[in-house]
Amino acid sequence: MGAACRKPPAGEPVSFDAPGPAAVGRPTRIVARSAAAAAEAAFAADMAHPGMVPVFARASETAAGRYEADVTWTMAGDWSVLFEASWKDKRRARGRLPVRVAP
């Protein structure tokens, strides 16, 4: 099998700590974990509503493989938080966390 036929490596696994209660206008700490440290990482929160502006937050690595950011919600409802991380050696991690935001 030639190099062009090989599948790309699977992404690094991601898990999330359960966030505390989420409410409009109040920051919620989102924590993602990966087995690999020293990534460039960010969170993007989005709703399914057409025209909704996503909320972005750059993640800080607070311990090896632990990435945190505060997300401030702009509307009540069901949100999806996407975590993305990448390393210099081209590895990537990606995961989604559903969050229900109260008014």
Give the pLDDT confidence of 33-57 residue by residue, as tens digits.
Answer: 988 888 899 999 999 888 888 999 9
Yes or no: say if 37 and 89 are a contact pair by the CB < 8 Å rule: no
pTM of the full structure? 0.82
- Provide DSSP, 24-38: TTBEEEEEEEESS-S
How does residue 7 score in pLDDT terms, banded at 50, 70 and 90?
very low
- Whether residue 74 is predicted with pLDDT greater than 90 in this model: the reply is yes
Yes or no: say if 78 and 47 are a contact pair by the CB < 8 Å rule: yes
Give tens-digit pLDDT for 12-24. Answer: 889 999 888 999 9
Domains recognised in the chain with CATH numbers: 13-102 (2.60.40.10)
